């Protein structure tokens, strides 16, 4: 039973994993994921890749919406930007370790442009402005044939590490896992520096934040840019994983999906992004399994799968908002606390 | 305060040193100075009113001001809290060398800690000087206690 | 020239129905401060219930319409009670997401029950086209516009002159003070949701009976968001003017730049206007006090 962590200097207080216990758990977690290709089935590995991509995108959205309070409905479009950038660069022969960051930066640049209205509007007006931006970008995906292949989509050359092609789930998994872990740590780092604090100040009361010396426009644009960067990288990894893509993947529903993941998981925390992404990925999977199991008893259930998925999705959001507004991360923290204080009650 | 975005993301040397420097400064010079160390990890809305005001003062001090503007800092406080606040304001002025501009109605506090007082009545300046001078000023007395009624005079 | 006239006229007239959808949204925002992303879905559900009544149960069209109004009315009140009331203290993101969740539930439910194909409910209004010189206007477009105009005129008068309307406006601008003045704000907010649902049903049935019914109907509401933000989130007059304007812009651009530009031009216009007039043309500029 652990009652607390005792710090003796500021440096140890600043650390991300501040006790030996948490460090051990983290190491075990990382190790088990790292060796997943050895002990996981193909299905598990494919799911892990998809979850990894969702985690990265959710991390980005959580920084923009959860930490900085800027509701962004254009996240799906940024993911598309990353994906198409990687596709186009791949066709020019650019290797993935350059194409991926470039995709992030291109998305970040567009994120800054989409964030420019925050100069004049905020709150829900800004949200609808991002909605408008999403539609404009979707239009570009459908119409700009030369780069995006138009409505029929485009293929993405596989990632290539000096001749070692990253084809298949096992190889892509490492790339995705490394990116996801690094970006999650980066997000936590951001939160403990002045930029992260500025985000939270802008979220809580931007006028007060300005009085305290926070540069509003720069902070808001940074929030959009970093969130979009994450989305761009996620989109790039998506491209490398799937190998081909069409514009009807990057619809408004995708942005809403990530917004739901972030809210269900917990706004403003990295753990929330991870939990939310995992949860929202496995709910449709669970439904699919349920449908395939019950389709022997009830034929025709498969046709209901997509709409029922939407119903469940909506219900989950509403249930979480009413009963656990701080999301899965809060539930996780409660469970952890009760473990730490056992046998005492919290 | 200027580690860049990239340094922040990777928590490089610049960000780390800046954070440690900020922590040392805020913890020692502000939190210890204002004796709010015992509530450091609590959420502000569960603190008593007097402590909340002290946290506000701490927040202002964290900006390393040269001039500190205080608008009715002891409004709604009892005697003990007022005395504490007055002591802190004096300490701020003496130890930090900060110029303090205080707007207050609590005459006791104003007269005790100010070096220069300006009195306003309905937007007009009616007196300006040291506390002792202002206390004796006829217009000030009239504004606070009222003039003799003409019918009685 | 007559081409331009035709596009303009068609655009303005279709803007009339858009104005109904915009009205449905603005009513809720003005009355309860909630941004309702489920406007399109509620409208669609109303149209589907009308279809169910008229086609599946064989009721006469007007009876089916009344049925749809009744069902949506009850649903609106149920939503207000079950979902919005528990969330009343929470930040805007939460409520927004709740409406998105509701939209998802309704959309999925409708697709599960009626499938994704396009259906043809019976029309309520005459179909005779109108010939103005060289310009041909389809009867449904004219009829929709007429109904929309009457409804909107009615609402404007209601909010301005009737006691209930003024009570709703008071609740919208300051619920606490309205409560101290004796207005039952729970009833007022419930009424607002009810009215919004009814208006949405009108719009849904009008569009469905003239353009066919499918789950895509809900996305008609998306271009209305452009109009809403252009007009100002909380201004009824703004919603109407902006809807007409966006309807006109869509029609003219579709005519001259091709049908696809309909998807993107309204949004470009919106973003451009936001830079110049951030609160929309008629929205009230909120002054934030610390």
A256 within 8 A of A85, measured Cβ to Cβ: no
H-type helices in chain C, by residue range? 2-32, 39-51, 61-79, 92-114, 139-161, 163-173, 175-180, 185-211, 220-231, 236-257, 265-276
The better pLDDT of the pair A180, C91 is held by A180
Residue A155's nearest CA partner among A237, A87, A236 is A87
Angle between helices A270-294 and A42-61 (to 10 degrees): 140
Max CA-CA distance within chain C? 59
Taking contacts as CB-CB distances below 8 angstroms, the residues of chain C near A321 are: 87, 90, 94, 97-98, 101
Q: Where residue C286 falls among pLDDT bands split at 50, 70, 90?
A: low
Asked, for residue A6, whether it belongs to a domain, the answer is no
Q: Report the pLDDT averaged over residues C183-207.
A: 88
Q: What is the pLDDT of residue B147?
A: 64
Q: Report the pLDDT averaged over residues A183-187.
A: 93
Taking contacts as CB-CB distances below 8 angstroms, the residues of chain A near C229 are: 125, 128-129, 132
β-pairing verdict for A154-155 and A244-245: antiparallel
Which range (A84-98, A162-176, A237-251, B69-83) has the least confidence? Answer: A162-176
Tokens of B31: 């939190």
CATH 3.40.50.300 corresponds to the domain B23-104: yes
Spatial distance between the Cα atoms of A99 and A115, rounded to a whole number of angstroms? 24
Give the domain extent around A74.
36-341
Q: What is the Cα Rg of chain C in Å?
A: 19
Q: What percent of chain A has pLDDT over 70?
A: 94
Residue A20: pLDDT over 50: yes
Angle between helices C92-114 and A252-265 (to 10 degrees): 120
Q: What is the pLDDT of residue C99?
A: 87
Report in angstroms the alpha-carbon separations of A337 from A119, A332, B75, C60, C152.
42, 9, 39, 62, 56
Q: What is the phi/psi pair of residue C204, to 5°?
A: -60, -45
Q: What is the pLDDT of residue C83?
A: 80
Q: Report the pLDDT averaged over residues A225-235.
A: 95
Q: Report the pLDDT averaged over residues B136-148.
A: 78
Q: What is the pLDDT of residue A182?
A: 93
Inform me whether the C-beta atom of residue A74 falls under 8 Å from chain B C-beta atoms.
Answer: no
Cβ neighbours of B76 (radius 10 Å): 10
pLDDT in tens, B57-96: 999 998 889 999 999 998 888 888 899 999 999 999 998 8
Tokens of C95: 């409520």
Instruction: Return residues 33-92 of C near A (CB < 8 Å).
Output: 35, 83, 86-87, 90, 92
Q: Report the pLDDT averaged over residues C53-70.
A: 85
Instruction: Please say whether the dihedral angle defined by the alpha carbons of residues C187, C192, C198 and C200, taken in this order, is positive or negative.
Output: negative
Q: Report the pLDDT averaged over residues A195-210.
A: 90
Residue A1: pLDDT over 70: no
Taking contacts as CB-CB distances below 8 angstroms, the residues of chain B near A226 are: 5, 9
Q: State the total domains in chain A.
A: 1
Tokens of C165: 């309307």
Spatial distance between the Cα atoms of B97 and B35, rounded to a whole number of angstroms? 19
Q: Where residue A301 falls among pLDDT bands split at 50, 70, 90?
A: low
pLDDT in tens, C127-170: 777 776 667 777 777 778 888 888 888 888 888 888 888 888 88
CATH for A143: 1.10.3470
Asked, for residue A66, whether it belongs to a domain, the answer is yes
Residue A338: pLDDT over 70: yes
* Collapsed DSSP state (helix, strand, coil) of residue A5: coil
Sequence-separated (6 or more) residues with CB below 8 Å from residue C197: C24, C42, C46, C72, C73, C75, C76
Cα-Cα end-to-end distance for chain A:
12
Burial classification of residue A46, based on how many CB atoms lie within 10 Å of its CB (0-12 exposed, 13-18 middle, 19 or more buried): middle
Q: What is the ipTM of this complex?
A: 0.82
Taking contacts as CB-CB distances below 8 angstroms, the residues of chain A near B15 are: 189, 193
Q: What is the pLDDT of residue A35?
A: 85
Q: Report the pLDDT averaged over residues A62-87.
A: 92
Instruction: List subunits contacting chain B, requiring 3 or more Cβ pairs under 8 Å.
Output: A
Q: Where residue C289 falls among pLDDT bands split at 50, 70, 90?
A: low
B15 with A213: Cβ contact below 8 A: no
Asked, for residue A346, whether it belongs to a domain, the answer is no
Report in angstroms the alpha-carbon separations of C160 from A35, A277, C169, C170, C231.
69, 48, 9, 12, 19
Smallest CA–CA separation between A46 and chain C, in Å?
A: 27
Which range (A60-64, A74-78, B118-122, C266-270) has the least confidence? Answer: C266-270
Q: What is the pLDDT of residue B153?
A: 47
Which range (A93-97, A264-268, C137-141) has the least confidence? Answer: C137-141
Burial classification of residue C173, based on how many CB atoms lie within 10 Å of its CB (0-12 exposed, 13-18 middle, 19 or more buried): middle
Spatial distance between the Cα atoms of A311 and A305, rounded to a whole number of angstroms? 10
A10 with B20: Cβ contact below 8 A: yes
Residue B16: pLDDT over 60: yes
Q: Report which listed range, A57-71, A243-257, A315-329, is most confident.
A: A57-71
The better pLDDT of the pair C194, C124 is held by C194
pLDDT in tens, A154-180: 777 777 666 666 677 777 888 899 999
Residue C119: pLDDT over 50: yes
């Amino acid at each position: 039973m652990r009652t607390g962590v005792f710090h003796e200097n500021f440096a140890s207080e600043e650390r991300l994993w501040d006790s030996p216990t948490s460090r051990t758990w983290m190491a075990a977690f990382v190790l088990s994921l790292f060796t997943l290709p050895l002990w996981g089935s193909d299905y598990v590995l494919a799911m892990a890749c998809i979850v990894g991509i969702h985690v990265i995108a959710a991390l980005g959205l959580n920084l923009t919406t959860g930490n900085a309070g800027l509701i962004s409905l254009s996240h799906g479009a940024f993911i598309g930007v990353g994906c198409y950038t990687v596709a186009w660069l791949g066709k020019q022969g650019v290797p993935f370790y350059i194409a991926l960051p470039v995709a992030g930066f291109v998305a970040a640049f567009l994120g800054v442009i989409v964030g420019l209205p925050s100069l004049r509007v905020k709150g829900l007006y800004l949200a609808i402005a991002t909605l408008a931006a999403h539609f404009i970008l979707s239009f570009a995906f459908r119409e700009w044939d030369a780069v995006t292949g138009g409505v029929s989509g485009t293929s993405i050359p596989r990632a290539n590490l000096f001749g070692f092609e990253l084809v298949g789930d096992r190889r892509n998994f490492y790339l995705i896992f490394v990116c996801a872990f690094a970006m999650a740590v980066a997000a936590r780092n951001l939160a403990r520096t002045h930029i992260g604090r500025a985000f939270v100040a802008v979220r809580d009361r931007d006028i007060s934040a300005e009085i305290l010396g926070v540069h509003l426009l720069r902070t808001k644009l940074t929030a959009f840019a970093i969130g979009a960067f994450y989305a761009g990288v996620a989109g790039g990894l998506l491209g490398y994983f799937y190998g081909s893509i069409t514009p009807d993947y990057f619809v408004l529903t995708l942005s809403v999906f990530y917004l739901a993941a972030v809210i269900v998981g917990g706004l403003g925390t990295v753990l929330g992004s991870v939990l939310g992404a995992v949860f929202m990925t496995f709910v449709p999977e669970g439904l699919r399994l349920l449908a395939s199991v019950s389709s022997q008893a009830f034929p025709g259930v498969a046709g209901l799968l997509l709409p029922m998925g939407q119903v469940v999705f909506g219900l989950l959001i509403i249930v979480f908002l009413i009963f656990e507004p701080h999301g899965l991360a809060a539930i996780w923290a409660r469970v952890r606390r009760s473990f730490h204080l056992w046998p005492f009650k919290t | 305060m200027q580690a860049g975005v990239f340094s922040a993301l990777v928590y490089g040397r610049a960000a780390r040193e800046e954070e440690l420097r900020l922590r040392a400064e805020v913890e020692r010079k502000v939190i210890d100075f204002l004796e709010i160390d015992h509530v450091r990890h609590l959420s502000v809305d569960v603190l008593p009113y007097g402590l909340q005001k002290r946290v506000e003062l701490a927040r202002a001090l964290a900006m390393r001001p040269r001039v500190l503007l205080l608008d009715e800092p002891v409004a709604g406080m009892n005697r003990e809290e007022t005395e504490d606040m007055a002591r802190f304001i004096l300490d701020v002025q003496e130890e930090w060398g900060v110029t303090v501009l205080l707007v207050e109605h609590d005459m006791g506090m104003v007269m005790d800690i100010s070096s220069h007082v300006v009195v306003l009545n309905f937007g007009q300046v009616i007196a300006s000087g040291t506390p002792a001078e202002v206390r004796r000023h006829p217009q000030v007395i009239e504004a606070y206690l009222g003039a003799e009624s003409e019918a009685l005079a | 020239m007559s081409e331009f006239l035709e596009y303009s006229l068609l655009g303005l007239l279709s803007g009339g129905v858009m104005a109904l959808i915009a009205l449905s949204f603005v009513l809720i925002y003005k009355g309860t401060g909630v941004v309702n992303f489920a406007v399109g879905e509620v409208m669609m559900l109303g149209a589907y219930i009308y279809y169910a009544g008229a086609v599946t149960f064989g009721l006469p069209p007007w009876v089916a319409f009344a049925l749809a109004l009744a069902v949506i009315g009850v649903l609106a009140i149920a939503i207000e009670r079950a979902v919005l009331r528990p969330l009343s203290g929470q930040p805007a993101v939460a409520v927004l997401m709740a409406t998105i969740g509701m939209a998802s539930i309704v959309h999925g439910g409708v697709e599960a029950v009626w499938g994704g194909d396009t259906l043809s409910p019976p029309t309520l209004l005459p179909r005779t086209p109108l010939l103005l010189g060289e310009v041909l206007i389809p009867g449904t477009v004219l009829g929709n516009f007429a109904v929309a105009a009457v409804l909107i005129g009615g609402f404007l008068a209601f909010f301005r002159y009737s006691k209930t309307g003024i009570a709703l406006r008071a609740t919208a601008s300051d619920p606490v003070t309205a409560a101290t003045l004796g207005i039952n704000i729970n009833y007022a907010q419930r009424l607002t949701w009810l009215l919004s649902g009814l208006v949405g049903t009108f719009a849904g049935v009008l569009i469905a009976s003239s353009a066919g019914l499918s789950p895509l109907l809900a996305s008609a509401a998306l271009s209305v968001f452009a109009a809403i933000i252009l007009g100002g989130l909380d201004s009824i007059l703004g919603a109407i003017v902006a809807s007409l304007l966006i309807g006109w812009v869509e029609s003219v651009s579709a005519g001259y730049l091709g049908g696809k530009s309909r998807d993107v031009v309204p949004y470009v216009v919106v973003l451009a206007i936001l830079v110049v007039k951030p609160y929309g043309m008629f929205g009230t500029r909120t002054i934030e006090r610390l």
